[in-house]
Amino acid sequence: MEIFNSMIAKALQIAERRVANTLELLAGGATIPFISRYRKEATGGLDEVQIEQIKQMHEKLVEMAKRKETILNTIEEQGKLNQELKRRIEASWDATELEDIYLPFKPKRKTRAEVARQRGLEPLANLMMLQRETNLMARARTFISAEVKDEEEALKGARDIIAERVSEDERARGQVRNLFSRTAIITSKVVKGKEEEGQKFRDYFDFSEPLKRCSSHRLLALRRGEAEGILKVSISPDDDECRERLERMYLFKVDNSSTECSFHVREAVMDAYKRLLKPSIETEFAALSKERADMEAIRIFAENLKQLLLSSPLGQKRVLGIDPGFRTGCKLVCLDAQGALLHHSIMSPHPPKNQYRESVATMKYLIERYEVEAIAIGNGTAGRETEDFVRRLPFVEGIEVYSVSEDGASVYSASKIAREEFPDYDITVRGAVSIGRRLMDPLAELVKIDPKSIGVGQYQHDVDQTMLKRSLDQVVENCVNLVGVNANTASKHLLTYVSGLGPVLAQNIVNYRTENGPFRSRKDLMKVPRMGTKAFEQCAGFLRIPQATNPLDNSAVHPESYHIVEQMANDLCCTVDELIKNKELRLKIDLQRYTTPIVGLPTLTDIMQELDKPGLDPRKPLTAFRFADVHTLEDLREGMTLPGIVTNITNFGCFVDVGVHQDGLVHISQLADKFVSDPTTVVSLRQQVMVRVIEVDLKRKRLALSMRQL
Give the residue-averaged pLDDT of 489-510.
Answer: 95
Rounded Cα distance between 115 and 158, Å, is 10
Q: How far is CA 129 from CA 96, 114, 154, 162, 262, in A?
A: 27, 17, 15, 8, 8
Length, in residues, of the chain: 710
| Alpha-carbon torsion, ordered 411, 414, 419, 424, to 10 deg | 130
Sign of the four-CA dihedral 462, 464, 465, 471: negative
710 pLDDT tier (thresholds 50, 70, 90):
confident
On the 0-12 / 13-18 / 19+ scale of CB atoms within 10 A, 379 is buried
> Which pLDDT does position 288 carry in this prediction?
95
> Which residue, among 266, 199, 274, has the nearest Cα to 236 in the 3D structure?
274
Q: Which helix (H) or strand (E) covers residue 187, if one does?
A: strand 185-190
DSSP state of 687: -
Span 424-436, pLDDT tens digits:
999 999 999 999 9
Give the residue-averaged pLDDT of 484-506.
Answer: 95
Angle of CA points 277, 181, 678, to nearest 5°: 140
How many separate helices (H) and strands (E) can be counted in the chain? Answer: 30, 15
Indicate whether 257 pLDDT > 90.
no
Q: Are 377 and 386 in contact (CB under 8 A)?
A: yes
Span 186-207, pLDDT tens digits:
999 999 999 999 998 999 999 9
Close Cβ partners of 103 (under 8 Å, ≥ 6 residues apart): 168, 173
Backbone region of residue 193 per phi and psi (left: phi > 0; alpha: psi in -120 to 50; beta: other values): left
Close Cβ partners of 460 (under 8 Å, ≥ 6 residues apart): 297, 301, 452, 468
Close Cβ partners of 247 (under 8 Å, ≥ 6 residues apart): 266, 269
Indicate whether 636 pLDDT > 90.
yes
118 pLDDT tier (thresholds 50, 70, 90):
very high
**427-451 burial, b for 16+ CB within 10 Å, e for fewer?**
bbbbbbbbbbbbbbbbbbbbbbbeb
Indicate whether 179 pLDDT > 80.
yes
Domains contained in the chain, CATH given? 2-105 (1.10.10.650), 112-302 (1.10.3500.10), 319-440 (3.30.420.140), 495-612 (1.10.150.310), 633-706 (2.40.50.140)
> Which residue, among 312, 311, 323, has the nearest Cα to 348 in the 3D structure?
323
Backbone region of residue 134 per phi and psi (left: phi > 0; alpha: psi in -120 to 50; beta: other values): alpha
> Which pLDDT does position 422 carry in this prediction?
92
Indicate whether 491 pLDDT > 60.
yes
DSSP state of 628: -
Query: Three-state SS for 351?
Result: coil
253 pLDDT tier (thresholds 50, 70, 90):
low
Residues in a beta bridge with 704: 665, 695
Close Cβ partners of 24 (under 8 Å, ≥ 6 residues apart): none
603 pLDDT tier (thresholds 50, 70, 90):
very high
> Which residue, among 159, 89, 154, has the nearest Cα to 120 in the 3D structure?
154
258 pLDDT tier (thresholds 50, 70, 90):
low
Indicate whether 543 pLDDT > 70.
yes
**Which range among 96-105, 255-264, 611-620 shows the weakest confidence by mean pLDDT?**
255-264
Indicate whether 456 pLDDT > 90.
no
Q: Which helix (H) or strand (E) covers residue 218, if one does?
A: helix 216-227
Residue 265: phi, psi to the nearest 5?
A: -65, -40
Indicate whether 314 pLDDT > 70.
yes
Give the residue-averaged pLDDT of 334-340.
Answer: 94
Residues in a beta bridge with 334: 320, 343
> Percentage of the chain with pLDDT > 70?
99
Cα 211 to chain centroid distance, Å, stands at 23
pTM of the full structure: 0.86
| Alpha-carbon torsion, ordered 55, 56, 59, 61, to 10 deg | -110
Q: Are 373 and 323 in contact (CB under 8 A)?
A: no
Query: Going by DSSP bridges, is the β-strand pair 374-378/400-404 parallel, antiparallel, or unpaired?
Result: parallel
Close Cβ partners of 490 (under 8 Å, ≥ 6 residues apart): 444
Span 14-70, pLDDT tens digits:
999 999 999 999 999 999 999 999 999 999 999 999 999 999 999 999 999 999 999
Residue 675: phi, psi to the nearest 5?
A: -70, 135
> Which residue, among 446, 449, 481, has the nearest Cα to 556 in the 3D structure?
481
> Which residue, among 223, 192, 189, has the nearest Cα to 207 in the 3D structure?
189
Indicate whether 256 pLDDT > 60.
no
**Which range among 105-119, 240-254, 270-284 shows the weakest confidence by mean pLDDT?**
240-254
Q: How far is CA 501 from CA 24, 146, 176, 530, in A?
A: 20, 72, 50, 10
Rounded Cα distance between 368 and 633, Å, is 37
DSSP state of 212: G
Give the residue-averaged pLDDT of 113-118.
Answer: 94
- What is the C-alpha end-to-end distance of the chain, expressed in Å? 54
Q: Which helix (H) or strand (E) covers residue 327, if one does?
A: none
Rounded Cα distance between 436 and 442, Å, is 10
Give the residue-averaged pLDDT of 232-260.
Answer: 83
- On average, the pLDDT of the chain sits at 93
**Cβ atoms within 10 Å, residue 582:** 13
7 pLDDT tier (thresholds 50, 70, 90):
very high
Query: What one-letter code names the amino acid at 629?
Result: D
Which residue has better confidence, 254 or 598? 598
